Structure 1
Amino acid sequence: MSLSHGQLLVHCIRVLDSYNSDTQSVEEHVNKYLKNNQIYDDSDQTFIVEVFSECVRYSNLMQVVLDGFYAKDGKKTLRSEQNLYTVVCYLALFRLDELGMAHFRKFVSSQDINRMYRFLNFFLDEKNLLTWIQDGWEKYYEHVFVETNMISSIQRWMPELQEMIGQMKDKIANRLKPKRKNLPTTEMKPFNITQPRPRSIPIPEPIPKLKKHKPVPKTLYSEPKEFSQIKKSKESNRRIAEERLMEASGIKFACANPAKSEKTIEILNNIVSEEEAKLEFERHRANPPPSFLSREVPIKMNTATILREGNLYRKKEAEEIKKWENLEAGAKDASDFLKWQTEMRQQDLEDELAEIERRRLQGKLSHEEAILARQDLIQENKQKVKSMKEETEKMMQDYLQKKFSEEKEMRQLVEDTMQGHKNAKEATKKLREYKRKIVQEVNEESKELMKQALEEAEEEMRRRMELIHQIRAMEAVPIIRQKFVDLTATSGHGLLSEMSIAELRERLSLFRIAEKETEEQRRDDILASKQAKDQMLLETLETISKHRLEQTKSAAVRFECKKKGLIPKKPEIKDSKLLELEKKLEERKAQRKREQEKLKVVPSKQSVNQTRSLINQKKALEESRWRELEMTQERAARLMGDGVMKSQSASRLASASAILAS
């Protein structure tokens, strides 16, 4: 529900306040009120309609309660609040089972507690409810209806209602619930356990005394003798090695290094290559063609190549024949066809444009139709809403009529039940007598049926015994078990293709003879086809040879004409612009060649002499260096032999000589 309990109760009271039974009907008044107050929720609408219609319907019952209330406990209450009490009374009487105690409590708590307590305390008092209020209700309705539909439902909920009234009373009196006493918490106490004896103090152990340590030796802080011995041995070994090195360097052979530098090698190579470029002793000569190409090798042709080439020549012949036939018949002009073709293309274009225009118009038309369909849909929806509203109104009318009809049926049912109680005893007596008669008749019929069943069983046994005797007599007759075979007789199954064994054998022999004949015929056909194929291949080979002969003749004629110069040459170009371009091209080529010749380097005699002089100078320098190197080596060896130089000076001299050599 979208509205709260208090709001629903207020709306129900207002509907009752504004209702005038003389001028308005129930449905019209309710619909008008809902429309004016804009209540559109279905559940809220149904609740307000049901409460209002039921309050109007049972207004006599409510008036009995209200009159008693205003006469006794409600003397100080306003008469304008009677519709509030009417709605609460209706909810308690007829809707408490449906709503439940929780929702009813919310309806009550939404109003003033003093008013509700005063009314409910009066109305739910059993002294009032079960005495004069019930008597007043029974003036308008039957005792059974009042007892079943009204009193019993309230009595079922009476404990909860009384509890609610008690709570309201306590709230009005400002009574507080007694607070619970704070019970003291349990205190923990240790267990009464025997205390253990204290442990005895252990006797202390004696501390052991340490032995005196030896002092650190003095050799720990002094350098060992081995290090000094190692140093001395290293120095002596080094001295011996230097002396041996000097001896080895003095024993070396004094020889010159003939290798040349990279620069000189490069210059020499360039000079040699330039000189060799001028010489043309060994030119590249092409190898002569092999001899086997001049010989004509016969090509072996298989069946496929023969047929393929024959088919090719056959097609060419057919094309030539067709060409000549067309020429004989007279070739037609193609202008009519071209004209027809252009006309048809124009027509196709016009058709295509017409199709495009048609599609465009169809699109516009479909757009308009869609707009119309949308409008129709809106109209249909409005009509559906209207029809649904009418249906709801009809359903409300049917519901109210159904309620009234149910009440009438209930009254009739009560009357019928009262009348039925009177006639129940007479009906039971009649039923007992009827049952006795039925039992007697059933017993008699069962006896007769048993007799008939026994007679039928005896008859069945006799029939079975006769059948058994007949079967035994048939089994006693001897059976002939031998079978005689007749090869000319059929099996007798009644089939269409039924035959005897002799006929089957004869047919098999005939079938074998026919198979042999067909096999011979196939062999003859295969031989004939092979011969025809060979003949056809020979004919195609003849045609191929003829065509090839003609081709060779035509090729020879062309070759002779070419030799004699009869074949026309290509026409010369007489266009002036092209000739000018050719001339310019030739001039450019000639100019390019001249430039290339100018750029060529030709070695002169002066340059050759200069290079030779440079080479000689370099050779002289190298010889002088080697000579100086040999002299230094000899001097060092001489000094070493005399013992004048030390090892260090000898090593310096050797390094200097190595630098000079490099």
Structure 2
Amino acid sequence: MTNYKELLQEATTLLDAFQPNEQCVETFTENASKSLENKYDTEDRSFLLDLVSGCIEQKKVLDVVVGTFYDHHGKLVLKADHNRFSVICYIAVFLLEDIGLKRFSKIIKSQDTSKMHKFLSFLFSVHNLSTWIQGEWSQIYDDAYVEHNWILPLLRWRPQVDELLEQLSRRISSGSVPKKALANHTQPKEFALTKPKPRPLPVPEPIPTQQKHQPVKPNIFKPPKEQQILEELRQKNRQKAQRVLYEANMQQFKCAKPQRSERTEKVISQIKEAQEAQLKFDAVFTSGTPATHKVNSLPIRLNSTTILREGAFYNKQLEQELHRLECVAEGGSEPSGFLRWQQQMRERDEREQLAALQQRHLEGQISHEEAALARTRITQRNQQRAQLKKEETAELMRQYAAKRLQEQEGMKELVQQVADSHSNSRLARAQLHTFKQSVVREVCEQSRELLARALEEAQEEMSRKLELIRQIRAIESIPRPQHKLLDDTEMAGHALLCEMSLAELRERLCVLRVAERRHLEERKRRVQQEKQSREQLLLEQMDNIATCRTAMEQAAARRQAERVCGVSAREHLQEDEKLQALRHTLQEKQQQRSQLTHTLTHTHTHTLQTQRNTHTHRLKQWDQRKKALEEQQWEELEKSLQMTIQQGTPHTS
């Protein structure tokens, strides 16, 4: 048995999901058919899809009835039921002859009774069908078609629909009888079998990359000199600000205690011992740090957290170095030979990487030249095609010129006809002027009457407001009773345990303020003491950091000197035969591209010059012919005007 309530709910859902500006009707119905394939049988699915497609196609016709229905009963009906009423209207207008009254009654009874009773009474009203519904539908379709196919069938079904409306009204008056609660029966469940794995998605097609645009030539845009001057001033100001920050950073602890503590003296002595040991084992000590390390010499303003963190880092590093030196002094292994071999292997790897990088760079340049050659050949083919296209365009322009000549001859005849018709239009203009004057006089009289009536109403309103203002001022002028004076020492008398007078409350507040002030002073004193101790600790850490940084700068300077004295890896690249062959190939490709570009440029210049000369000659011929036609047209127009004036002179006299 077909569940019409579920079918209409599904149709309403599909109409709500349809977006006419973004979706096509055929595509939407196909997708809906696929989604409903396993849910309904073939007959119900076809009926549902016919409803949806018909409501979309006849939306203008349905909106006329449903929109007016909402205007009359909009306060009692939800806006969400708009598409539901559209489906019912479509079934009543287009499908009632096909499905019959019995099936139509089942559809109506499956919905809300009161809503269907209101809508069917509105739709099948003889007055509505014969007057405004027929008029509105006739603006969309032909009047005879609307009356024969829609209005007359609905009027024929009116007696049967009246019986259906009586049944609905009896159901509304009797009320809804509560149904008995169904017993909860055991529902069988399917076995939870393992579902097959979904098919893997197909590999997406690679997205084609766009060609790189040509870089802008340097002679097209050059930055102004003012911008360079502003950049130099900005650099000078930045250096000046950095210098000021550095001086402020060095002088921020100048007010602290200048004497060094015992812990600071101990750390400084340990650093001096480490520097002496570093001079003896320089190769071992410097190899532990990376070769590319550079100490930043720019002034940096350090906060307290950074100072403590960096001081802890240098102390830990110093302890590790002292422990390593103690192990070496006790007879531990010396890693200098292994470190030298490691350094040689690292340099050889760097040379090989540089050679591979240079080879890839040359291969990339060769491929770029080949791509440029291909683009040049494509440009040459495109120019040939453009030449053929221009010849075709010239032929079309000649045809267009001939057509324009024919149109001008037709316009000449039209001007002659208009000039003949002007002589008969003077009387019509005079009659129209007299009619407009009478209309203006009537409008002026009506406007004067309306203004006089509005003035009288405004005077009455003003007098009423003045009387109301006078009454309000009289009420405000009545004297008010005086209030009782407040006594600070008297309690309110609310019978509360913590009740006190206003004077006692003020005294207690004064006592609390004094206690709070004393507590704040004590707290400030403790904070000041902690701040002084912290500044002393930061001063000691700053001395330790400065010493360690000096040692690191010296080690970095020695490593830089060793790198300058070494053999450069780029000198060996010139001796590679493979790179020499790649460079020779690159030069050949560049020469070949320059020759092809020169040939293409010369051919294009010659073609442009030829086309320019041909176009100039054609323009001159067209201008001469146009001037001759204009002179001929003006002469004929003057003759026709003179004839018109001669014909109209006796009539005006």
TM-score by length of 2: 0.28
Structure having greater relative contact order (Cα 8 Å, sep ≥ 6): 2
TM-score by length of 1: 0.28
